[in-house]
Amino acid sequence: MKFNFPFAPEEASTLAAQHDMVFYTITALTVFFTLAVALVVLVLVVRYRHGNKVDRSNLVHHSDKLEIAWSLPPLFLGLVVFFFGAQLYVAERVPPKNCYEVFVIGKQWMWHIQHPNGIRENNTLHIPVGKPVKLTMISQDVIHAFYIPEFRTQFYVVPGRYTQEWFQATQPGTYHMLCNLYCGTQHSEMGGTVVAMAPQDFAKWLQNGGDDGMPQTLEARGAEIFSRNACDNCHTGVSTERGPTLLGVAGSTQVLEDGTKAVADQNYLREAILHPSSKLVKGYPYGTMPEYAQQISEDDTLALIAYLKSISSITAQSQGQNVAAVQSGIVPAAPMVTKPRMADGALATEHFAKTSTVQEGNLAVGALATEKGDEYKK
Amino acid sequence: MASIVQPGHGAEHEHSPVHHQFEDFEQQTEAYIIGMWSFLAQEIMFFGGLFLIYTLYRSRYQETWYQAHTALNVVMGGTNTMVLLFSSFTMVLAVHAAQLKDKKKVLMYLGATIGCAFVFLIIKFFEYKEKFEHMLVPGPYFSVEHFMSDPATRGINPNAAQIFFSLYFAMTGLHALHIIIGILVLGALARHWMKDDKLVTHDYVPTELVGLYWHFVDVVWIFLFPLFYLIPK
Amino acid sequence: MSATIVKPAEPAAPKAAKNYLNAEHTLKSWLLTGDHKRIAILYLIGVSFFFLLGSIFAGLIRIELTSPTGVMLESETYNKVFTAHGLTMIFFFLVPSIPAVFGNFFIPIMIGARDLAFPRLNLLSWYVYMLGGFLFLCALVFGGVDTGWTFYTPLSSLYSNSQVTLAILGAFMAGMSSILTGVNFIATIHKMRAPGMTWFRLPLFVWAHYATALIMVLGTPVVAITLLLVLFERVFKIGIFSPELGGDPILFQHMFWFYSHPAVYIMILPGMGVQSELIAAFCRKKIFGYQFVAFSSLAIAALGFVVWGHHMFVSSESMYQGLVFSLISFIVAVPSAIKIFNWTATIYKGRVHLQTPMYYALSFMGLFTLGGLTGLYLSCLGTDVHLTNTYFVVAHFHYVMVGGGVTMFMGALHYWWPKMFGRMYSDSMGKISAILTFVGFNLTFFPQFVMGWMGMPRRYHYYYLTPEFQPYHIASTLGATVLGLGFLLPACYLTYSLIKGEAAPPNPWGAHGLEWDIPSPPPSHNFEEIPIVMDDVYDYPEDGSDDDTPIERTEKGLDPLPDEGGHHR
């Protein structure tokens, strides 16, 4: 921690300086008007004390001109402040396109953080300096809030839906990570540190598997969870009565049982895994897929979603072919991690080849990390 | 009333009793009416909150709302609607009789209104019983088994269905509570009439105010009925 | 002016005249009273008790925060203490305080009526309030509640193991009580005004309470149903806000703040009404811009209903919602500013008398101005993202609610005490208390602005994650001690005055208003004859001919003013 009786928190993010401009402007207005009112009142009270011989003639009890004079300028000043505050807010709410995305799960009473390459941290968040970082957050239980005072940003972490927060650190250092929405008994202990590292240092940190030395990418972990929970029993390379194929599902438009359409974004995929009956796809009525809400944690859900994203993009990119063609079984699909334990598994295994592909290559952390690490050196 | 200590004394209108704080009968009547409407305004805000929540969830889960509502008994609900409408009619007649100072008719119509209220509650009881039997009461025993037999409702979202029934019980339950309170108030009013209390025999305003409350309760049901029982595909 | 002047030198003799206090002596006559003045006293006892209770909780909080690792409480207990502090102070003290005590006592008199429109409803309000208080005390005794006074779901509906149900029932009853009071005030102010008492002849205190009553009646039911739904979720497992079922926990926040924001205006508007009375009386001058001040109360009430989303800028409400709520929040600041400027203009060319109530009035001017302006940081979207849920917010709302609301409660108490009880208190003790309160308050809460700006979160028991804030917390606790003294002293000397205070004349301050034309304490029926109002309110003579208070005239050896037998003919 850095400070010791300063009267301002450190400015450590790109928006912190903009924030502080607005803050100090409001402070100037506040100080001015408070002192003005206080001084005028004191002067008047002294001057017009009863018994003082002062001019009290020509008493006026109202003046519309005066009312307008002291209403409109403050209103105008307020609207100016509103404008700059709104500008800052919009910048804070709309993340830039090339963010480094990190996943945050809040639970009573700690923070789990997952980096896309698989590194997991508890109550610590390592980020690169000079690159925008986007947090995709969800709570396992009650509402929390992820607050970094030095970055001048916070946002609620809500159960049941993903929320996001972005920032870009401007200098290396360690900063406060604090839960800032009362969440129960140990709310005041639910915090840690944000460690901003120079880009090279961060790349090295990622390469070395972070502080834990966890070698597995998020996608690979997701693939393992997919198989461990026997998702591949029903979700194979082709759509069958048991379940639709998940190749290409991430980001696609799904037609639901009631005829409505929905885009399979992050929230959709999460719901479809944990509460499938809320996202029934046409042809697969209630009861086809069991609820996994009690069995799969938010951490694992994020890994599964990463895996689903990987088989959408890799399938299309590496095979260079129409996803629909893959789904109809014409073209062998990218291998899905599967074990030959399905009752009618023959049906599925017939239709795709277990060839080693790009995906297995990705399992080598070093390769992926280096690949990603190279990005940060730019 | 006798048990409340009232300082001082008030002016006595020639025929109708005026409470001590009022200067005259007209002021009393106007104050009562504005007070009653203020009270109804807050009742509107109270139920309004529930209607708002209903609207938000219905727009989010439109398909489920349609499917879930098939479990409701339109015949029973429709009958209840008729019963309440009729009870509002008898209430109007009671107020009219009060204006004409016709004690017998007032008691008759108040009795009819109370009777209708009881009929409503009885039918409601059987409706709730049906929900209970079909395991549609929200909580640990909630189940959408009831919807599995019909292919049209088989795809129902069980979580959204539970929210539907949560709102159903919360809104119709609170409404039923207001009916019960209404029965008590109507009963108290009838008792005053039976005892020839000048408070009501010489001043129709108390009867009219009770009527206002009763009409409000009826209007709430008029909204509840189509919103829950008559959801289009 | 009016009636008998009592020389201060005479030993206190109980008034021989019958008044509302000695009209009847039985307990039953008090517990079954319809007299608005007695009900006001019953409320005074109730709110004073809860203020004491809430202050004890505040004291525990401040002691605990002197160390980053706590002093004597477990976290669970600390969380229950700050929840109890919030619930007690908001629902059982601030909301009823001025309306149920001074509104009840003085609105009928100020408008020239014998009582409120519905005396029995008034008594019912008090019983419902006491029932709510009792249920809330049960919640505390049976283990307390640890959700924060805001009851956010799903913490309150699913995860908390504390007495949420009982606490909600208590708050619900307190809300019900305020609704009934609001209904009573609306009917009274519309229909019970004396002949000649037109809307624009009403004291601004009455306008303020009218606006407050509108908020009470229209806003409270929404939080009532919202809390009831949380209760249903806990008791009947009806999960409307449960994310597990696809319910929306943020919906709870929308419904909750839809009331709770207007609620803060319930807590400040009556105080602003008191301020108008104090400034007019102690400057011997009609409030400047009367119509603007009157309408600004209505404007605050109306606009106050459409800004609730400024409590939710970082909750995942949409960016566009945030923009709208922020914009309107800046606009709602304007009517409050209008009031401050009009009160200041009233002092200009007035005749200022610096007695205890005026000390509180001046204190209010400073504290409320600062408190209101710090609201701008929070309505401004960009800065709120940093400051929300930190001690900055805590400091802001204490400045307006304590520096504004409680200061005005104390001002009203000191202004109308002689009228209500027929006793004078020591003005020097009053001034000392007012100064102690002002100094102690600033020392307690100003450091919290700085702490919040630097990132100290609120509702934190331990702050070992940010131990650098300890000096601020210690300063705050020291201030709280001084502030506590400032509230304790009046309890002592006001109570003492009941026993040993000099008898009060009908109009010790030389103020204008119907309440000053009747004896102190007033008779049960208020007026011998309902007055017919022909003059404007606050019609102080411009030549200052009645500038000296009766006590000042006696001290100067001047003749008392001739008895005009009632100011308004």
pLDDT surpassing 50 at residue C71: yes
Q: Which residues of chain B have a CB within 8 Å of the CB of C119? A: 4, 6, 19, 21
The CATH code of the domain that includes A141 is 2.60.40.420
B155: distance to nearest CA of chain A, Å? Answer: 5
Tell me: do A238 and A193 sit in the same domain.
no
Q: In the structure encoding, which two tokens stand for residue A280, read together?
A: 């029934």
B58: domain range?
Answer: 47-229
CA atoms within 13 A on the CB side of A28: 8
C376 and A26 within 8 Å at the Cβ level: the answer is yes
Q: How distant is the alpha carbon of residue C366 from its chain centre?
A: 17
The CATH code of the domain that includes A337 is 1.10.760.10
Q: In the structure encoding, which two tokens stand for residue C289, read together?
A: 């811009």
Q: Does residue B10 belong to any structural domain of this protein? A: no
Tell me: do A331 and A247 sit in the same domain.
yes
Tell me: do A349 and A257 sit in the same domain.
yes
DSSP state letters, A258-307:
TS-EEE--HHHHHHHHH-GGGSPBTT--TTSS---TTTS-HHHHHHHHHH
Q: Does residue B154 belong to any structural domain of this protein? A: yes
How far apart are the C-alpha atoms of C455 and C466, rounded to whole Å? Answer: 9
Chain A contact for B70, CB < 8 A? no
B148 and A286 within 8 Å at the Cβ level: the answer is yes
CB-count exposure of residue B3 (10 Å: 0-12, 13-18, 19+): exposed
Q: Does residue A326 belong to any structural domain of this protein? A: yes
Show Cβ contacts of residue A47 under 8 Å, excluding neighbours closer than 6 positions: A54
**Straight-line distance from the first to the last Cα atom of chain C, in angstroms, rounded to the nearest whole number:** 11
Q: Does residue B33 belong to any structural domain of this protein? A: no
Name the residue type at position A70: W
Listed residues A174, A207, A240: the one ending a domain: A207
Nearest to A75 among C146, C334, C385 (CB): C334
How many angstroms separate the Cα of A164 from the Cα of each of A56, A137, A270, A300, C309?
Answer: 62, 6, 15, 18, 19
> Which pLDDT does position C568 carry in this prediction?
36
pLDDT tens per residue, range A349-360: 332 323 322 232
A285 and B158 within 8 Å at the Cβ level: the answer is no
Averaged pLDDT, C176-193: 97
pLDDT tens per residue, range B193-225: 999 998 899 999 999 999 999 999 999 999 999
B157 and A260 within 8 Å at the Cβ level: the answer is no
Q: For residues C468 and A191, is the Cβ–Cβ distance under 8 A?
A: no
C246 and A70 within 8 Å at the Cβ level: the answer is no
Q: Which of B70, B148, B159, B231 to substitute to test the interface with A, most A CBs within 10 Å?
A: B159
pLDDT higher at C187 or A363: C187
List the beta bridge partners of residue A105.
A112, A138
Phi, psi of B121 (to 5 degrees): -65, -35
Q: Which of B36, B53, B61 to substitute to test the interface with C, most C CBs within 10 Å?
A: B53
Q: Does residue A150 belong to any structural domain of this protein? A: yes
How far apart are the C-alpha atoms of C452 and C456, rounded to whole Å? Answer: 5
> Which pLDDT does position A313 carry in this prediction?
62
Chain A contact for C282, CB < 8 A? no
**Straight-line distance from the first to the last Cα atom of chain A, in angstroms, rounded to the nearest whole number:** 29
How far apart are the C-alpha atoms of B43 and B220, rounded to whole Å? Answer: 10
Tell me: do A238 and A195 sit in the same domain.
no
Tell me: do A164 and A273 sit in the same domain.
no
Q: Does residue B197 belong to any structural domain of this protein? A: yes
Under the banding of pLDDT at 50, 70 and 90, the label for residue C542 is confident
C-alpha closest to that of C485 among C438, C437, C444, C447 = C437
Tens-binned pLDDT, residue by residue, of chain A (378 aa): 333 345 788 899 999 999 999 999 999 999 999 999 999 999 999 999 988 889 888 899 999 999 999 999 999 999 999 999 999 999 999 999 999 999 999 999 899 999 988 888 999 999 999 999 999 999 999 999 999 999 999 999 999 999 999 999 999 999 999 999 999 999 999 999 999 999 999 999 988 877 765 567 788 888 888 888 888 878 877 787 778 888 888 888 888 877 788 888 888 899 888 888 777 888 787 777 888 887 888 888 998 998 888 887 644 444 434 444 444 444 344 444 433 333 333 332 332 323 322 232 333 333 333 333 333 333
As a whole number, the mean pLDDT across chain A is 80
DSSP state letters, A145-163:
EEEEGGGTEEEEE-BTS-E
Chain A contact for B148, CB < 8 A? yes
Q: Does residue A237 belong to any structural domain of this protein? A: yes
Helix, strand and coil content of chain C, in percent to the nearest 5, comes to 65, 0, 30
% of chain C surpassing 90 pLDDT: 88
> Which pLDDT does position C562 carry in this prediction?
58
C222 and B140 within 8 Å at the Cβ level: the answer is no
For chain A, what is the domain count?
A: 2
C375: domain range?
Answer: 33-522
Q: Which residues of chain B have a CB within 8 Å of the CB of A258? A: 62-63, 155
The ipTM, to two decimals, is: 0.91
3-state DSSP of C374-409: HHHHHHCHHHHHHHCCEHHHHHHHHHHHHHHHHHHH
Name the residue type at position B168: Y
Q: For residues A303 and A221, is the Cβ–Cβ distance under 8 A?
A: yes
Task: Give SS3 for B202.
Answer: coil
Q: In the structure encoding, which two tokens stand for residue C326, read together?
A: 């922020």
For chain C, what is the domain count?
A: 1
What H or E segment, with its residue span, contains residue C39? helix C36-64
Show Cβ contacts of residue C548 under 8 Å, excluding neighbours closer than 6 positions: A50, C510, C556, C558
The CATH code of the domain that includes C177 is 1.20.210.10
Chain A residue closest to B161 (CA)?
A278
Under the banding of pLDDT at 50, 70 and 90, the label for residue B14 is low
Tell me: do A291 and A159 sit in the same domain.
no
How far apart are the C-alpha atoms of C361 and C28, rounded to whole Å? Answer: 38
Tell me: do A199 and A278 sit in the same domain.
no
A271: distance to nearest CA of chain B, Å? Answer: 12
Q: Count of CB atoms within 10 A of residue A4's CB?
A: 6
Q: Does residue A296 belong to any structural domain of this protein? A: yes
Place of tokens 């449960």: C242
The CATH code of the domain that includes B114 is 1.20.120.80
As a whole number, the mean pLDDT across chain C is 93
Q: Does residue A144 belong to any structural domain of this protein? A: yes
What H or E segment, with its residue span, contains residue A58? none
Enumerate residues 102 to 161 of chain C having a beta carbon within 8 A of any beta carbon in chain A. Answer: 146, 148, 152, 154-155, 158-160
> Which pLDDT does position A316 carry in this prediction?
40
C159 and A82 within 8 Å at the Cβ level: the answer is no
Nearest to C24 among B5, B20, B170 (CB): B5
B178: distance to nearest CA of chain A, Å? Answer: 34
Tell me: do A128 and A238 sit in the same domain.
no
C117 and B21 within 8 Å at the Cβ level: the answer is yes
Averaged pLDDT, C31-54: 97
Tell me: do A202 and A226 sit in the same domain.
no
How far apart are the C-alpha atoms of A314 and A319, rounded to whole Å? Answer: 8
Q: For residues B168 and B225, is the Cβ–Cβ distance under 8 A?
A: no
What H or E segment, with its residue span, contains residue B203? none
Is the pTM for the entire model greater than 0.95?
Answer: no
Subunits adjacent to chain B (3 or more Cβ pairs under 8 Å): A, C
> Which pLDDT does position C274 carry in this prediction?
98
How far apart are the C-alpha atoms of C280 and C206, rounded to whole Å? Answer: 14
For chain B, what is the domain count?
A: 1
List the beta bridge partners of residue A169.
A13, A129
Q: Does residue C21 belong to any structural domain of this protein? A: no
Q: Which residues of chain A have a CB within 8 Å of the CB of C366? A: 34, 37-38, 41
Helix ranges (DSSP H) in C237-318: 249-283, 290-304
Q: In the structure encoding, which two tokens stand for residue A49, read together?
A: 């004390």
Show Cβ contacts of residue A80 under 8 Å, excluding neighbours closer than 6 positions: none
Tell me: do A198 and A229 sit in the same domain.
no
> Which pLDDT does position A321 carry in this prediction?
41
pLDDT surpassing 80 at residue C559: no
pLDDT tens per residue, range B151-204: 888 888 888 999 999 999 999 999 999 999 999 999 999 999 999 998 899 999
pLDDT tens per residue, range C168-177: 999 999 999 9
A358: domain range?
Answer: 218-362
